[in-house]
Structure 1
């Protein structure tokens, strides 16, 4: 007589046995897609960037201005969006106020070209080449650099790499605080804001005193950088507090694949294809880069919009943390009763 076995019999379905392989295939395909998206996110703006509808100030007698604008359209169709100003001084002030990336003024002495290397080296090079063309036509051309870069870093190379500490500083701080301070929302906020301020002053010191990229108000510059790091850090931290680890992934996508390539830090946002350059200015990295240019080379002109944008991102992150706190309290209330 055979005694039936009392041990439970487990059968492994084909779906169960295939699960590890399915997950592996899914991970490999997802990572491959991420690499492709990353490449496209950086290459697409780069390949489509250039001189298109660049805001340029022009001033002078009506006939001369008309001749200059016609020559610009003929030489590079669609490259410039010219605005006529009443006087050369007004045109120069428009460049200083960051309303325009450069200017051209015509008077009895010849042509004056206003360049602003602090707005982006590409614009200065473009205007200098235009001036050379006018000189070849026999005109007297004078150059007026209204927002120069420093002698130690004439190409503002330090500013060009600023996106890296802004992006990774914000992301790394948010990720570490989320993983180590689970549900301790107040400590997360304190940690994020403290790190952002310290990092902002350290990065500012390296750029200004270490490499000479800026010769500006160190405190203002550092606070701008702190806001740039804090905007990303607080937002991603808030996302993770509200929706869990998916928030870290969403924050990484927004930071690395959207905010970073659309920031225009290296060239100035006007060099990016429209409307992406403008969109990038509503994101933390782009806003921080533009504000750093304003403080570093233009005595703060044109920084207001960027500073407000950064503060809004910090407040959104704080709002998400507040919502997560209320959500946890509501979930805990029935259990306590």
Structure 2
């Protein structure tokens, strides 16, 4: 005997379909205040990026390019005064005691160029070091040629330290540091967004810092290998560049970890603002400081991209001269970032504990009667 059917003949065998909430409800659910704030933040970062790069690069103008002047004592002061009185102050001239000293000033980065005056003839010499920034050397050459033509004199330009053949226009240092900086803050961000992560405790922060130190060392060695043995762009300084890379990556990563622990998602935006929007155009990689507007030339060497670029260039091309400030800046970001990250995680722990202890206890429900 067949089992009785549970549906009447008029009922459909199809299950009822859930009703769509409708476009208006979906729109209200999608467009939240948080979503609007994130989109607005992205727009502001985008506009800041455009303003910063265009502002820094749209019209490079020489301003107080350091120049050494080697000339006989009776004319040295006059030449220095003439150079320093040029309209717009394109150069900052300083008398050097001898041509050899002027040359040494260029190689130790005390000056970007050296003007050697020929007291016995009409042919002078300009010494430049394009490895420190080809655009500055070219600008100094143009200024010198214009002045010499007005004085009915000739000038010979000698590049006493040019970039390596594999370094093109001397941009490898900038691109190498750019990769290290991006890798540092991106890895710190990924660690903070990893599945299962929670607001960093002090123990979690110490673990992340230990991982970042290891990552920084690997990144430094890998970057040095790429610009050295692989492409032969900055060869001959493998271990020095490995150490520099470790410091640059750690400075970027530790600072990112600190800001993200302290400010959350907003911290990531601050990192991008500092390192990308402001740090890259002011670093001196494309145009060195004497060709940048005052704002960018002032902040450049106080940020990791600028300090790192200077450190790499001067280590590879100028025997490690004029790198003390860059080392202090990067060290401050690395150590300061680590300390701030730990302090921020400790503060978050205290806030969490205080919030937990402040919650009132709920009264116990009476046990049910039999």
TM range (shorter): 0.7 to 0.9
TM-score, normalised by the number of residues in structure 1: 0.84
Aligned length: 323
Q: Displacement of 1:333 after TM fit?
A: 5.8
Aligned to 1:114: 127
Segments of 5+ residues of structure 1 without an aligned counterpart are 1-13
* Residue 128, structure 1, aligned to residue 141, structure 2: yes
Aligned to 1:51: 62
Q: Displacement of 1:266 after TM fit?
A: 2.3
Deviations 1:25-44 (A, max 9, x none): 55554433332221111110
RMSD: 3.0
Q: Displacement of 1:300 after TM fit?
A: 0.5
Distance 2:295 2:267 in 1: 27
Q: Which residues of 2 match residues 1-337 of structure 1 at below 5 A?
A: 20-21=30-31, 23=33, 27-66=38-77, 68-69=79-80, 72=83, 77-108=88-119, 110-130=123-143, 132-133=145-146, 134=148, 139=153, 141-180=155-194, 181-182=197-198, 183=200, 184-331=204-351
Describe the SS at the equivalent of 1:112.
Answer: strand
Deviations 1:139-184 (A, max 9, x none): 4644443322112224123234335313321221110121235421
Deviates further, 256-265 or 322-331: 322-331
Larger Rg over CA atoms: 2
Segments of 5+ residues of structure 2 without an aligned counterpart are 1-23, 358-370
Q: Pick closer, same or farther for the CA change 1:124–1:170 going to 2, 3 Å.
A: same
Deviates further, 67-76 or 188-197: 67-76
Is the 1:120–1:267 Cα contact (8 Å) retained in structure 2?
A: yes
Describe the SS at the equivalent of 1:81.
Answer: strand
Q: Displacement of 1:138 after TM fit?
A: 6.1
Distance 2:59 2:214 in 1: 38
Is the 1:153–1:211 Cα contact (8 Å) retained in structure 2?
A: no
Distance 1:287 1:101 in 2: 17
Distance 2:36 2:264 in 1: 24
Is the 2:212–2:253 Cα contact (8 Å) retained in structure 1?
A: yes
Deviations 1:269-296 (A, max 9, x none): 3322224213110111110011111101
TM-score, normalised by the number of residues in structure 2: 0.77
Is the 2:205–2:345 Cα contact (8 Å) retained in structure 1?
A: yes
Distance 1:32 1:332 in 2: 33
Deviations 1:196-218 (A, max 9, x none): 12112211221122333224422
Deviates further, 47-56 or 313-322: 47-56
